[in-house]
Amino acid sequence: MINQTYNIFTLPNGLRCVHYRTSGKVSYCGIAVNAGSRDENLDCYGLAHFVEHTIFKGTSQRSSWHISNRMERVGGELNAYTTKEETVVYTVAPQGYLQRGLELIADLVKNATFPEHELDKEREVVIDEINSYLDSPSETVFDKFEDFIYQGSSMGHNILGTPESVKSLNSSKCRDFIDKFYTPQNMAIYCVDPTPFDRVEREITKQFGNLKFPYEYNNREIPETIAPFEKTINNNGHQAHTIIGSRIFGKYDDRRFALFLLNNYIGGPCMNSRLNQELRERNGLVYTVDSSVGLMSNCGLFQIYFGCDSSNITKCKKIIHRELDKLANNTMKPSIFERARRQYLGQLHISSDHKESRAIGLGKSLLYYNEIHDIEWSARMLMEVTPQQIRDVAELIHSQNCSTLTIM
């Protein structure tokens, strides 16, 4: 790295931008949009994801072929992804092609035409993706669980939509979604590149300074809280797939760092997580188990997933509830707490070596928090977490507060 400075600026139209100058040979740039499947109308499920797919299919200046080849011909790539609350469109290219990436993204946002003949082909692609996904109970169990726990809310549907809803999407709906949500005040640009800041600022201003879509406040209602439930869907499968989870706070709550640490301790990706040790290594009850945290702007979800033989479901649930209650009813011993924190901090720093993800993280941080929360900042926040704070957030996911869904 040349320096540790993030250059943050805002264009007159409200578009926020962050530049981080590196000494590397790769250029990363993209635009993070505060819009996802949660922001769709009831009759347009899957629209955010469909727009992300089809925004590459043509602009008033380029065909789909020219768009796909613009970055590839120099060895780079153009890509995008969608979640419930965000969409990110980005490029990765060799050093020296930052201008090419910024110009292409600006063209997509401002001039995407969503040609109907291209949409016809893409509908089939997305419907195949949906059907493939529906054949995988280890994936569908997550969306089914959210359907139940976010009942009556736009949070509770699959990002892909349904075959029926996707068939109803057209060019007009796609362009309306862009005009409504891909607005300057609802987006943030990031650039991680060796180019000096003054040149980056000029190029961003040139490409995005005339973006004038009016800002429309994104009114996301907090989903109603429902009573804990226990449900089973019998599909006559060979394995049982179970989610145990609870509603929690959103991404702006200061308690999130204690929750991240707790999550990593109880069901993180390492073999020494509490649940992996108890369910798999010690008792041989599951073939996989992990926990996850999904924080949205005004709500969140803590989930534990495990896959096992149907005869072991009850035993697994009993052990999981015991481990959750143990954390809620007892303060973690200092030695165990320090080991857990040291491990999580190490994982954070290793993850920071993935430069593409770190670059995207800068854009998302500016989008949501209006400042940069990088790995170093997150590490400082984790150092302030205490064992009592772990216990406090554990009380939110106490077994009595958890719901359960099994598909088998």
Residue 253 lies in a domain: yes
Check if the beta carbon of residue 379 is closer than 8 Å to that of residue 395.
Answer: no
Return the CATH number at 128. 3.30.830.10
Residue 90 lies in a domain: yes
pLDDT at 219: 81
Please write the tens of the pLDDT for every residue from 248-275.
999 999 999 999 999 999 999 999 999 9
Same domain, 193 and 118: yes
CA distance 351 to 244: 27
Strand order in the sheet with 230-233: 230-233, 403-407, 240-248, 300-308, 286-295
State the total domains in the chain: 2
Q: Is the CA virtual torsion 64, 70, 73, 77 positive or negative?
A: negative
Same domain, 23 and 172: yes
**Residue 4: which pLDDT band, with cuts at 50, 70 and 90?**
low
Same domain, 238 and 194: no
**Residue 196: which pLDDT band, with cuts at 50, 70 and 90?**
very high
Same domain, 178 and 39: yes
The mean predicted confidence, pLDDT, of the chain is 95
The secondary structure element, H or E, covering residue 366 is: helix 355-369
Residue 164 lies in a domain: yes
Task: Find the mean pLDDT for residues 23-39.
Answer: 96
**Residue 237: which pLDDT band, with cuts at 50, 70 and 90?**
confident
Residue at a domain's end among 173, 208, 243 = 208
Residue 225 lies in a domain: no
- The three-class DSSP label of residue 168 is coil
CA distance 370 to 15: 11
Please write the tens of the pLDDT for every residue from 378-399.
999 999 999 999 999 999 999 9
Task: Find the mean pLDDT for residues 158-172.
Answer: 95
Q: Which amino acid is at 180?
A: K
Same domain, 402 and 272: yes
Q: What percent of the chain has pLDDT over 90?
A: 91
Residue 250 lies in a domain: yes
For residue 2, pLDDT over 60 is answered with no
pLDDT at 238: 80
Please enumerate, as own/partner, the contacts of 378-382 that have beta carbons within 8 Å and a separation of 24 or more: 378/257, 378/348, 379/345, 379/348, 379/349, 381/257, 382/257, 382/260, 382/261, 382/341, 382/344, 382/345, 382/348
Q: Phi/psi at 93 (nearest 5 deg)?
A: -155, 165
**Residue 112: which pLDDT band, with cuts at 50, 70 and 90?**
very high
Same domain, 87 and 170: yes
For residue 42, pLDDT over 90 is answered with no
Same domain, 140 and 250: no
Which of the pair, 24 or 108, is modelled with greater confidence?
Answer: 108
Tokens of 273: 């997580």
Closest to 347 measured CA to CA, from 244, 263, 403, 241: 263
The Cβ-side half-sphere exposure at 405, using a 13 Å CA radius, reads 19
Pairing of strands 230-233, 87-94: unpaired
For residue 193, pLDDT over 70 is answered with yes
Residue 200 lies in a domain: yes
- The three-class DSSP label of residue 296 is coil
Tokens of 200: 């980056």
For residue 3, pLDDT over 60 is answered with no
Same domain, 200 and 286: no
pLDDT at 46: 96
pLDDT at 152: 85
Tokens of 57: 């299919």
- The three-class DSSP label of residue 133 is helix
Token pair 């429309």 is at which residue? 216
Same domain, 194 and 238: no
Concatenated DSSP letters for 142-153?
Answer: HHHHHHHHTTTS
Measured in whole angstroms, the distance separating CA 79 from the mean position of its chain's CA atoms is 15
Task: Find the mean pLDDT for residues 314-342.
Answer: 97
* Domain range enclosing 389: 230-407
CA distance 210 to 184: 10
Closest to 95 measured CA to CA, from 198, 193, 22: 193
Same domain, 60 and 135: yes
Residue 91 lies in a domain: yes
CA distance 102 to 97: 9
Neighbours of 285 (CB within 10 A): 18
